[in-house]
Chains A and B, each alone.
Chain A
Amino acid sequence: MKAVITVIGKDMVGILAKVSTACAESNVNVVEVTQSILDKYFAMIMLVDIQHMECSLDELKESILQEVPTMTVHVMHEDIFNSMHRI
């Protein structure tokens, strides 16, 4: 079971580190990361394994937001992407 975390906002030092830390604290394993910086804006999509997650997706989102309060964070279960883009 996987989830997709997206983080968008103004670039600053340590975003990836902070988000990863929040994941690790909830026993969420990072599987894949894509990030880019476009004109000072930071955009990251992270695929994580939530098989052994110790909280709900909503709580994970809250704990990430606490680490990077200025960013826009979305945490979504992978099923929504799979159902929309795969037959």
Chain B
Amino acid sequence: MLNMKDIMETMTMIQEEHLDIRTITMGISLLDCCDTDIDKSCEKVYEKICRLAGNLVQTGEEIEKKYGIPIVNKRVSVTPIAMLTAVSGGDPVKYAHALDKAAKKIGVNFIGGYTALVQKGFAAGDRELIESIPRALAETDFVCSSVNVGSTKAGINMDAVKMMGNVVKEASQLTSDRQCIGAAKLVVFCNAPEDNPFMAGAFHGVGEPDCVINVGVSGPGVVRAALSKLPKDAPLSEVADLIKKTAFKITRMGQLVGSEASAKLGVPFGIIDLSLAPTPAVGDSVAHILKEIGLEQCGTHGTTAALAMLNDAVKKGGVMASSSVGGLSGAFIPVSEDAGMIDAAEAGTLTLEKLEAMTAVCSVGLDMIVLPGDTPADTISAIIADEAAIGMVNSKTTAVRVIPAIGHEAGEVLDFGGLLGTGPIMKINRKSSSVMIQRGGRIPAPMQSLKN
């Protein structure tokens, strides 16, 4: 039987603490769309996406109305396009246009999968696709791109890392008249998950079924509000326990929405990704959770420990609540999308070095960080290499999404608007990493025993 306390708790979470379903993402395999003629291939891609995801947005809206819970984004992820390019040859940007056209037709707000997986080396189509990324992102509105450059099993492909420094920079340059938005739609991964519903890094892995529904749930505000009711002298084990319980409730809601969407669309249910994904809205910040745990500002000493506990507790609560938790599941720390992180970066409390340490324990990596416009491509490659090394050694997903703000200096601000927020330009280390990056080659896979 329902009781009033529970009803009010759920209502408060939704109305005041920004609880929402962040995204319903439909994963679609495009392997059966391959054709040796690229135009035919693009046509098939467009047709398949429109056929399978045609009702996605409408179904999402129906569920929103039934349960009174906002579903912020409806999105599509597809098979890495590099695989289609391998068969068809030709200019991969044609695929980007086909994806963009399909996204506009079905009304989703992002489509991910302009992707290449090159952790061990380049196959046919991979180089062409990676080189075309800046153009693809500049010429389309909704296409998101990702490249996996390393994994714990394969090591790090440093040739790809070298390329990505240039690609990130060029993506920014080609869109410098639009707040460098190109680079904000590009993620460089190590250990990329194949079922991640969150953009910009979503793609539909090759081991996945033909079509699948993945759900991303968020709720930093709910966790913060729950923690604010805890006395300041409560031991950290109690804090972790409360985070776990809150994560459980949030995930249960995701499970409900996911299974409902999968039944309505007649598509199997994949995973729930319970990630505390902040938005620029006040009260929807991961940095403020850390503050609630007891840090004066995010980025100070103790931040890594607090984040490690938060990330782990979120996963534990989520796993208990759903039979199929996957994706990234944990805490996101995108600087420009989090009001608390923006403040901390502007105050100088949160630095690039501290963020790097935090990525060793959180669920993703250096996310939505704005760099000075004159950052050399080799330095961006080196940032990517550092981050990939953390992921490779710790057997976890790490990612880099940095935006070189063309024509701007450290201390200035880049305003993306909407969910992407506002990014203060962060200071970088000005010493060169060029020689190491120019070496290329591969960093061998790490030992999996003798762990110290």
Contacts and interface: CB of A to CB of B under 8 A. Distances in A.
A77 B67 contact: yes
Interface string B311-339: 00000000000000000000000000000
B11 A74 contact: yes
Interface in B124-176: none
Interface of chain B, main secondary structure: helix
A74 B68 contact: yes
Contacts of A2: 2
Contacts of A47: 2
B237 to A, nearest CB: 22
B104 interface: no
Contacts of B8: 45
A81 B68 contact: no
A85 B249 contact: yes
The listed residue with most B CB atoms (<10 A of its CB), out of A6, A79, A80, is: A80
The listed residue with most A CB atoms (<10 A of its CB), out of B2, B69, B249, is: B2
B4 A34 contact: yes
* Interface band, chain B: 10 to 19
B122 to A, nearest CB: 46
A57 B62 CA distance: 10
A63 to B, nearest CB: 14
B253 interface: yes
B66 A57 contact: yes
A22 B69 CA distance: 23
Given A80-B10, A83-B255, A45 B4 contact: yes
A77 B67 CA distance: 5
B408 interface: no
Contacts of B253: 80, 83-84
A76 B256 CA distance: 13
A57 B65 contact: yes
B427 interface: no
Contacts of B7: 4, 6, 45, 81
A76 B253 CA distance: 13
Interface in B1-51: 2, 4, 6-11
A42 to B, nearest CB: 15
B252 interface: yes
A25 interface: no
Interface string A40-75: 000001010000000011100100000000000011
Contacts of A84: 6, 10, 249, 252-253
A84 B249 CA distance: 5
B274 to A, nearest CB: 13
A47 B2 CA distance: 9
A56 B67 CA distance: 12
Contacts of B9: 85
B254 to A, nearest CB: 9
A61 B64 CA distance: 13
Contacts of A45: 4, 7-8
Given A74-B11, A77-B66, A85 B255 contact: no
B60 to A, nearest CB: 14
A80 B256 contact: yes
Contacts of A58: 65-66
Contacts of B249: 84-85
Contacts of A56: 65
A81 B255 contact: no
Nearest to B2: A81
Top 6 nearest A-B pairs (CB, nearest first) are A76-B68, A85-B6, A58-B65, A83-B256, A80-B67, A83-B252
6 contacts: A45-B4, A56-B65, A76-B69, A80-B10, A83-B252, A85-B10
Given A61-B65, A74-B11, A76-B69, 16 more contacts: A4-B2, A6-B7, A34-B4, A45-B7, A47-B2, A56-B65, A58-B66, A77-B66, A77-B68, A80-B67, A80-B253, A81-B7, A81-B10, A85-B9, A85-B10, A85-B249
